[in-house]
Amino acid sequence: MKGFKFTDELLRLALDGTKTQTRRCDDELRFHLGELFPLQDSNGVNHGWARITHVVRQRLQDISEDDCYGEGVKKCVLYPWPGNPEGRCCVWANIGFRSLWDPIAKPDEKWNDNPLVWAYTFERTEAP
């Protein structure tokens, strides 16, 4: 079964329940409300299950501060940033989210492109 692939760091946060949202630039809706999906690593290996609790279509930059935290952004920690690889304190949650998004986004789906995304909220659950 196809699921959502996450980087190691974001997969760990999804598995421990800290990450409860993900945004995808898919043209088509991948999962519907109430649907189960596997939490996968970047190689497609399943590590757990989650259930979709909310789905909305929005522009990437419409993400709220609370949604940034749901995406796994931590409050005021050091995030690496171009020109400052040691990191900087994340004063605004969307800066932290951008630092997670841009390195893994396709060239035409970066923060500044403000693409349409599907915003999925999910909760961990037992295997079906």
Q: What is the CATH number of the domain that holds 119?
A: 3.10.400.10
For residue 20, the model assigns a pLDDT of 98
Domain of residue 86, residue span: 4-125
Q: What is the pTM of this model?
A: 0.85
Q: What percent of the chain has pLDDT over 70?
A: 88
- Across the chain, what does the average pLDDT equal? 89
pLDDT digits (tens, 9 = 90+) for 30-58: 999 999 999 999 999 999 999 999 999 99
The residue among 12, 21, 31, 44 whose CA lies nearest residue 101 is: 21
Q: How many structural domains is the chain composed of?
A: 1
Reported as a pLDDT band with limits 50, 70 and 90, residue 74 is confident
For residue 84, the model assigns a pLDDT of 60
